[in-house]
Amino acid sequence: MDALLTSKTVKAKMKLRTKLAQIWTNTQLVLFPLLENKIGSLPENYKQLISVLELIRIEEYMPDYSFYNGRPPKDRAFIARAFIAKIILKITFTKQLVNLLESDVKLKEICGWESFQRIPSESKFSRVFAEFSDIGLPDIVHQKIVSEFYESVLIENLVCDSTSIKSREKPLKKKGSYKERKNIANKRYLREKKGEKSRKQKQISQNLHEMLDELPKECDFGAKKGSNGFKMTWKGHKLHVAVDDNAIPISAILTSASLNDCEVAIPLLKKVSKSARHLYCLFDSAYDVKELKEFANIMGTVAIIDEHARSKKQKEEKQAEKLARKTFKLETAKDRRYKQRFSKERFNGSFKDFYGGNNIFYKGHKKIFCNSMFGILAYTAICLLNLVN
């Protein structure tokens, strides 16, 4: 059975690479020569931008403005391409992007404007970005791209985790003192113990839209233990992402920073199921809840979760077992598969350093998520193009 699944996966991946190779060949042999004849030689970063724009084709996913009352909106598709360019060229501010478009004819032509056309003002870029945020344009395009290229691909390991997103806005002020909030949490725990359904239990029977509506999205303070073992805190949001073995993001959800990771695991898997199929989903100990295992079984996948020690005794037993396995060099199939979850760390580092994850100057959940998804969309396109090599 495993050999059959591996054979099917290899064939599907070969089909995916063939499709990507066709796009890459058309870009290299047809599009680049045409553009170079028109606007001159292209630097490498502009060639990369053209390849990404050709793969994404974000202009095909623009809203239908045919029923728009009043003056018809202009330049929406060009501005969307410009926001992709902002990520690829590592431009921090929208004002810098507008100034570069006004001075660089090559970038202007790549984004869609003719050399004689006037670039819209910075305020129009901001208004259009707000429109894209309201409809979730980059998230829609990302889901379409993933579903198109993973249509015949079976993902072997899906890795889910969260990363901090720092924002520059006023955090939500929590009502009541710490003692009062703790009493409310204790009462909720007692109600759940008596039979009232928790959020995770409700999510099993809800659709994706209902799940996302119930998740908190305000800016607040978050805390988690880093890879070095030390506790880190930040103000802002938390980005929950599911990636495959090649560190390509399949789906993403943005929530409040204080929300526990296990509260978002079921919506994340539900969102993944709309775009791609997978065999195993790998989680760290923060996701060790029975509802997640139950939902994974319903979906027909296997959830591999690092067990969370809930008492001092369990923690000692876990450490002793870990030491015994290391001493006698015992490694199970589950342990070997769990090691592959570090593809998520590769995504976190690349997204934050090179795709705008550390430079978010917008305020509000919708705009921050839109900015993050433009970065994820560009990163996904580059990863897919790298599969050709």
Model-level pTM? 0.88
Residue 209, Cβ density class (10 Å: 0-12 exposed, 13-18 middle, ≥19 buried): exposed
Provide the mean pLDDT of the chain. Answer: 85
Phi, psi (deg, nearest 5) at residue 225: -85, 125
pLDDT at 232 over 50: yes
| Contact in structure between 309 and 288 (CB atoms under 8 Å) | no
Interval 151-163: pLDDT, tens: 888 898 999 999 9
Interval 197-224: pLDDT, tens: 778 888 888 999 999 999 999 999 998 8
Report pLDDT for 376.
97
**Token pair 């060099």: residue:** 329
Cα(34)–Cα(36) distance, integer angstroms: 6
- pLDDT confidence band for 186 (50 / 70 / 90): low
pLDDT at 4 over 50: no
Interval 41-98: pLDDT, tens: 888 899 999 999 999 999 999 887 766 666 667 789 999 999 999 999 999 999 999 9
Query: Which one has a higher pLDDT value, 9 or 133?
Result: 133
Report pLDDT for 128.
94
Cα(51)–Cα(380) distance, integer angstroms: 12
Q: How many helices (H) and strands (E) does the chain have?
A: 17, 6
Q: Which residue ranges make up each domain of the chain?
A: 2-135, 154-364
pLDDT at 300 over 70: yes
Output the CA–CA distances (angstroms, integers) from residue 168 to 4, 235, 260, 367, 386, in the order listed.
51, 8, 22, 12, 34
Cα(188)–Cα(193) distance, integer angstroms: 9
pLDDT at 385 over 80: yes
Report pLDDT for 1.
44
Highest mean pLDDT among 35-44, 88-97, 188-197: 88-97
pLDDT, average across residues 343-352: 87
Report pLDDT for 185.
52
Report pLDDT for 178.
52
Q: How far is CA 213 from the centre of its chain?
A: 18
Residue 206, Cβ density class (10 Å: 0-12 exposed, 13-18 middle, ≥19 buried): middle
